[in-house]
Structure 1
Amino acid sequence: MGGPILPSQCTVLILTDALSCLPASLLTFWNPPTSAQLTIESVPSNAAEGKDVLLLTHNLPQNINGFNWYKGQGVDGTRRIIGYVVATQLTTPGPAHSGRETIYPNASLLIQNVTLNDTGFYTLQVIKVDLVNEEATGQFRVYPELPKPYVNSNNSDPVENRDVVALTCEPETQDTTYLWRVNGQSLPVSPRLQLSSDNRTFTLFNITRNDTGPYECETQNPVSAHRSDPVTPNVLYGPDAPTIFPLDTSYRSGENLNLSCHAASNPPAEYSWLVNGTSLQINTQELLIRNITVDHSGSYMCYAQNSATGLNRTTVKIITVESIWFSEKSQEESFYPSLCPMGTSKSQILSRTSSICLYTLFPLFWFLMADPGRLPHP
């Protein structure tokens, strides 16, 4: 019988792939040594149009004759960009060379002033001395530098509770994320708000005066982000029910009647006045009547109209003008209070022909009679 297998013999057997001399447990965990894998890193991986991209090589093997770069995945002579011979340090441009590519001795590739068409995969082929080639593939994407967006509206002067407003973020660009803001905040959730599938168009149904914004759109891609100038829709509304100021309804003869009418409206409402159903042909917000009399009592109507919305509203105020009670200006009559109606003379008072006036003066009469010295002397 043969002797036992010595370690030196086992080593020889391992090198000759005779692994049966190793225990099963060692075979389970044993792996043949491997070298680091050739990889390509794109710097940056997302590039802005017009910028430069470096395809950086990692773990380049030893003992190489040269290398080639290809556009796409895999080796295709028609898509070869450039080659490099190590011994002579010569570069050889290929059919896919655009004049913007530069190859370095460490096998890295610089692409300058990249375009959208440069997006994609790039393959490095390493030719070793032993003629066993290695390949690695990297990729990058090129995005446009986004311009500043602007908001386009289908209706810059919508009517409240009637019109639909669609705001669109312009211009349209590929691979772009669109965002909207109102009053500096994200759009609220509302059944009246609707966004297109790409978020580029924002639709507002039954717009109200509270929906004036301002609105901004923002565009984003991996290399840039910009925000539009704010846009404020000019919502037309009103007029609401007008209010007549002042709120007083009682006046005295001889006073001035100065009324003003106010109604919320955009654009501002046009006003006119009617008294007791008759137009005064006064198309102003204020109404001034000097030295009013009892004949000016009645209903005062303010008519407010918005020609842009086609709407109008009215309000009515009832004004009562009372007579002035007075006495004659003689010295003797200066002691009598001005409580009698206009046109009532002293003789009428003394003869008691004016029962209302006399009734009013009755307490004063007894006051004077109680002390005759209080009466005026001729």
Structure 2
Amino acid sequence: MSHMSLFTMDIKMLRIVACLVHLLSGMSVGEGILPPGPLSGAVAGTVKFTTTLRPPETPFLSVSWSFKGVNIITSTSSNVTEPGHANRISLDRATGALELRNLVPEDSGEYTVIIVPDGGLQKQGKTTLNVYALVSGAIIRSPAAILIEDKSSTNLSCEASGSISTRVWIKDGQPLHPSGRVSLSMDNKTVFIQPVHSSNHGTYQCRVSNPVSTMTAAHKLTVNFGPHNISITGPSAAAPGQRVTLQCTADSVPPAHFSWMFNGNESHVNNTMYIIESLEAESVGNYTCTARNMVTMLENSTVLNLRASCTVPCWSFLVLLISALTLRGLMFGCFYSWYSAGRWELPSTAAMPLTSSLSRQQPHIDGSALCNSFCTMETSPLMLLKLLYITLLPVLEAQEIKVRPEVTGYLGHDVTLPCQFIPGAKGANITQVQWDLKPPEGERILIIVFSVTHGSIAHDTFLKERVKMAEQSLIIRDVNMTDAGLYTCSIATFPSGSFEGTINLVVQEQMPLSSGVVSAIVIAVLLLLVIMAAIAYLIFIRRPDSSVRHRVYIDTNGPVMDVARPSVTVREEDVVYSDVKLKPFRDVTPSSTDQRTETTYGDDDVAYSEVVVFRRPPN
């Protein structure tokens, strides 16, 4: 018999066995002998179909695997394999497990196993295999163009090879979601941004994956914007001779070009730092920083008013000036005071001859105005007070920023860091408010900035989603322990310059009890003590003593009494019974008519008494 005829017979036997197995499938039990699927495999990889069966004491009579209804291997006394799976499958007859190698996409589909044990009903299981091509060549493509905030639009397309199940977009480490300017295609392949905003600037990632492989592509999107949030960092007041450093910052892409002006004049300083080596009188004034973006062609400016602080040299000069003016008024002139419309007005001093200064007050009445010249030594104190008022008026009207040195926040609660700008008499316009954080360990962090033109913008920090501003104050929601640190409130005004104040935020884990709660607890404890004392009084003090016996003597000299009846005394809470003894008066022996009645009760709470009746002797 030739080899061809033998192979033909094997194929026929394989088909016959498969038919018999399918005929017997209606009698099968033990559904679910395969783990829950589906199974996943990579192209050119290997997958193993395991069963939940343990090796039996006697081998299975037959094990058969089929794919999409076509038998691929049957094992009885020997293995019969379908030619298309030859050299790619292996069968474990002890458990019925099947291993499939060199996977191709066409191997995806449903697999069925039928096992006939020795001396039992056949067992059957089904599962599904999905074969995926590995993801490769992932890349993000974007049109080549210069993007300018609020003027340009763009799109990002994620491309890759292989079997792609999902695409996920990420921006700066956070999942990207559709918004007013951002939208996604149906298959998440393309991101559309129109128009671009400064918040769209950053690094975008596209994660392409399937059950057997994952690949991520990255792309940096550049959005040219700004300058925004320009501010000058530096002191608003310094002592004469002190070195002063002013630094100008702004949010801008590309970085802004800076220039400085002093009191409206060009200073020829064209970088972020303006350094005054030694503060002199001619260095005091308004410093204007201008930031320019050479791509957006936009610019923005801010002003800082630098003043000389009143240290010892300044106050010494002020005292000398007051003394000189006082001496000049006393020796060479008169100081005029006008009383008009119910208030005093102070014109400048007028020089007068010494002879006129020796006179008394020279009133001059002119309608509603009264002019008095104070030219004598007696009026010098008043003149000194007026000179002090004129000199100190600018100091009294000084502007300032009001903050609390320390604020306590409690874990999980909201906290407000108060900051208030007091503009003074002349007033000033707030152009920008900025909050910074200096944590216990680390560098200074810019948290949030408010601009009159751009509104409030929270910077990308761990506080971004939990901070907001109420006027100039900062509100932090759901406080964490890491929020503790020094918070600086910086306010830029025009034309007065910049001011700042610092608040130390201390975070505690538990909020103390309020006074109302403490009072309620104290009242409850006192009330409980009163109730316990009342119960103890009723139980131990007011309870009658069952061991008391009373002895009552009745004098029969009074009204006639019926001694044949026991004497009974009734109380509110219990009954008292008495024993009655009849005795003759004084030394008289009792007669046969004397009666004694004794009553005994077993109740422990009854008190007994003995009553002795003295009978009067007959006349």
User: For the superposition of Structure 1 and Structure 2, which TM-score range results when normalised by the shorter chain?
Assistant: 0.5 to 0.7
* 2:27 aligned to which of 17, 35, 38: 35
Does 2:83 align with 1:95? yes
Superposed CA offset, 1:46-100 (max 9, x none): 2222232338799xxxxx998986765457xxxxx5565x4xx344554313411
* 1:303 aligned to which of 290, 315, 331: 290
Distance of 2:215 and 2:271 partners within structure 1 = 44
Match of 2:300 in 1: 313
SS of match in other structure, 2:84 = coil
Distance of 1:256 and 1:210 partners within structure 2 = 38
* 2:225 aligned to which of 210, 217, 237: 237
Superposed CA offset, 1:103-131 (max 9, x none): 465886432343333223568899xxxxx
* 1:366 aligned to which of 371, 377, 383: 377
User: Following superposition of structure 1 onto structure 2, how do residues 115-134 of structure 1 map, counting pairs within 5 Å?
Assistant: 115-121=104-110
Aligned amino acid, residue 240 of structure 1: H
Match of 2:321 in 1: 338
Greater strand fraction, Structure 1 or Structure 2: 2
Superposed CA offset, 1:158-183 (max 9, x none): 54334445445563432412233557
Match of 1:45 in 2: 38
Cα separation, partners in 2 of 1:46 and 1:306, compared to 1, 3 Å: same
Aligned amino acid, residue 48 of structure 1: G
Task: In structure 2, list runs of 5 or more residues that go unmatched.
Answer: 1-25, 54-59, 116-123, 335-346, 352-372, 382-619
Match of 1:200 in 2: 189
Match of 1:179 in 2: 168
Distance of 1:90 and 1:338 partners within structure 2 = 121
Aligned amino acid, residue 338 of structure 1: L
Following TM superposition, by how much is the alpha carbon of 1:319 offset from its aligned partner in structure 2, in angstroms? 8.4
Aligned amino acid, residue 54 of structure 1: F
Distance of 1:288 and 1:145 partners within structure 2 = 60
Q: Does structure 2 conserve the Cα–Cα contact (< 8 Å) formed by 1:53 and 1:111?
A: yes
Rg bigger for which structure?
A: 2
Following TM superposition, by how much is the alpha carbon of 1:356 offset from its aligned partner in structure 2, in angstroms? 5.5
Match of 2:440 in 1: none
Q: Does structure 2 conserve the Cα–Cα contact (< 8 Å) formed by 1:120 and 1:140?
A: yes
Match of 2:99 in 1: 110
Cα separation, partners in 2 of 1:365 and 1:191, compared to 1, 3 Å: same
Does 2:39 align with 1:54? no
SS of match in other structure, 1:96 = helix
What is the aligned length? 296
User: Following superposition of structure 1 onto structure 2, how do residues 57-72 of structure 1 map, counting pairs within 5 Å?
Assistant: 72=68
Distance of 2:27 and 2:236 partners within structure 1 = 100
Superposed CA offset, 1:20-64 (max 9, x none): xxxxxxxxxxxxxx6238989766532222232338799xxxxx9
SS of match in other structure, 1:268 = coil
Cα separation, partners in 2 of 1:274 and 1:183, compared to 1, 3 Å: closer
Cα separation, partners in 2 of 1:36 and 1:286, compared to 1, 3 Å: closer
User: Following superposition of structure 1 onto structure 2, how do residues 76-87 of structure 1 map, counting pairs within 5 Å?
Assistant: 81-82=72-73, 86=76
Q: Does structure 2 conserve the Cα–Cα contact (< 8 Å) formed by 1:53 and 1:114?
A: no
Aligned amino acid, residue 129 of structure 2: F
Cα separation, partners in 2 of 1:99 and 1:39, compared to 1, 3 Å: farther
Does 2:250 align with 1:263? yes
Match of 2:606 in 1: none
Which structure is higher in RCO with an 8 Å CA cutoff and minimum separation 6? 1
Aligned amino acid, residue 337 of structure 1: L
Following TM superposition, by how much is the alpha carbon of 1:270 offset from its aligned partner in structure 2, in angstroms? 1.6
Q: Does structure 2 conserve the Cα–Cα contact (< 8 Å) formed by 1:71 and 1:96?
A: no
Task: In structure 1, list runs of 5 or more residues that go unmatched.
Answer: 1-33, 59-63, 76-80, 127-134, 327-333, 371-378
Following TM superposition, by how much is the alpha carbon of 1:239 offset from its aligned partner in structure 2, in angstroms? 0.9
SS of match in other structure, 2:320 = coil
Following TM superposition, by how much is the alpha carbon of 1:291 offset from its aligned partner in structure 2, in angstroms? 6.3
Distance of 2:78 and 2:132 partners within structure 1 = 33
Cα separation, partners in 2 of 1:339 and 1:234, compared to 1, 3 Å: farther
